Structure 1
Amino acid sequence: MKNSALIIVDYSNDFVADNGKLTCGLPGQQIENYIIERIEAYNNKQANIFFLMDLHYEENTYHPENKLFPPHNIIDTTGRELYGKVNDIYQNILFNDHVHYLDKTRYDSFCGTPLDIMLRERNITHLEIVGVCTDICVLHTAITAYNLGYSISISHKGVASFNPTGHQWALDHFKNSLGAEVE
């Protein structure tokens, strides 16, 4: 894990909870324990953990997602908080130097964030990516990671989507087009 970082993408109430604004529901809830296992494994070794969270503003007519999806992950709402036990574990580790939380305003966790710079400062060469949605934000994050030269691993136990067809397509794409280790 020395040169590896765990990337947790958009695991928020709005994307996972039953009453979330853009929820993948049960599939997202079913990956919670796996995500917790991975957080604990990285935390126990004091390896880098990055929480990347979608950030939107109420009535922002300029954001391109507004034409595609209902308002979600609005700043200062409970919908934007980490979901369930992942939030609990985050609250217990958030002050550790190896734990990072970054806001993102696009699908891609690298776009407009300091993620790449922070990874390179820490000599990270491998990314383990978990979170939601497999075929949207996880996919766009993985594509940029690949294009930036990172090796990638993604477990089917750690990603979910509201679109089963898109989920399976993305898993195949990670393996066959991005050379990711997919289990």
Structure 2
Amino acid sequence: MGKTALVVIDMLNTYDHEDADLLLPSVTRALPAVVHLLEQARERDLPVIYANDNFGKWRSHHGEILDTALAGPHADLVSPVRPDESSYFVVKARHSVFYETPLAYLLGTLDVSHLVLCGQVTEQCVLYSALDAHIRHLSVTVAEDAVAHIHQDLADAALCMMRTNMGARILPAEEALGAAG
């Protein structure tokens, strides 16, 4: 059986988009749990993989994405979750962390078979990433207190879909990394 990896979705964010006002309160609530997961994963020497949009700048790299987010008005939401030197980074263009990214290959080289997902947005990128992991026969845990939403009702439905249709474990961050794949 393979290892567990923590996947941090879209937390390096400028919050300069249409739904940011709806998203920000949820990100603020989820942030401590994301930080906790990062601390746990690093203590256990588990792979930490950031999958992040590139703000439409196709010449960007992970350092530039981080710098852009840290220079934005909500750097306080980015700084606590910044990648360290051992973190992996995948630039994504669409909702799923797998869609046209090298993530599946990276997971194979790391012998990862279980993903713990955290980040944003529950009813969008987290949901589609969980589905794509499921169809790749990877087990998934979603840290329910470490994901942020735009619409609470859609987030609740997304968590239910992930549990019911994909067999995902929906657990608090405190238990998420302990859930064996």
Q: TM-score, normalised by structure 1?
A: 0.78
Give the C-alpha shift of residue 29 in structure 1.
1.1
Show the counterpart of 1:44.
Answer: 43
Shift of the 49–165 alpha-carbon distance from structure 1 to 2, 3 Å rule, reads: same
Distance, in Å, in 2 between the alignment partners of 1:38 and 1:152 is 15
Give the C-alpha shift of residue 55 in structure 1.
1.9
Report the AA paired with residue 5 of structure 1.
Answer: A
Q: Are residues 1:154 and 2:142 paired?
A: yes
The answer to whether the 8 A contact 1:13-1:80 is kept is no
Compute the RMSD of aligned alpha carbons.
2.5
Distance, in Å, in 2 between the alignment partners of 1:158 and 1:89 is 12
Distance, in Å, in 1 between the alignment partners of 2:13 and 2:82 is 14
Question: 1:110-129 to 2 correspondence within 5 Å?
Answer: 110-129=98-117
The answer to whether the 8 A contact 1:12-1:80 is kept is no
Give the C-alpha shift of residue 147 in structure 1.
0.3
Distance, in Å, in 1 between the alignment partners of 2:70 and 2:151 is 20
Show the counterpart of 1:3.
Answer: 3
The answer to whether the 8 A contact 1:130-1:158 is kept is yes
Q: TM-score, normalised by structure 2?
A: 0.79
Show the counterpart of 1:78.
Answer: 69
Q: Unmatched 5+ residue regions in structure 2?
A: 59-63, 172-181
Q: Unmatched 5+ residue regions in structure 1?
A: 61-73
Percent of aligned pairs with the same residue?
A: 21
CA deviations over 1:57-110 (Å, ceiling 9, x no partner): 27x9xxxxxxxxxxxxx967438979536534535x2x22xx101110010100
Give the C-alpha shift of residue 46 in structure 1.
1.3
Report the AA paired with residue 87 of structure 1.
Answer: S
Q: Are residues 1:140 and 2:128 paired?
A: yes
Shift of the 130–83 alpha-carbon distance from structure 1 to 2, 3 Å rule, reads: farther
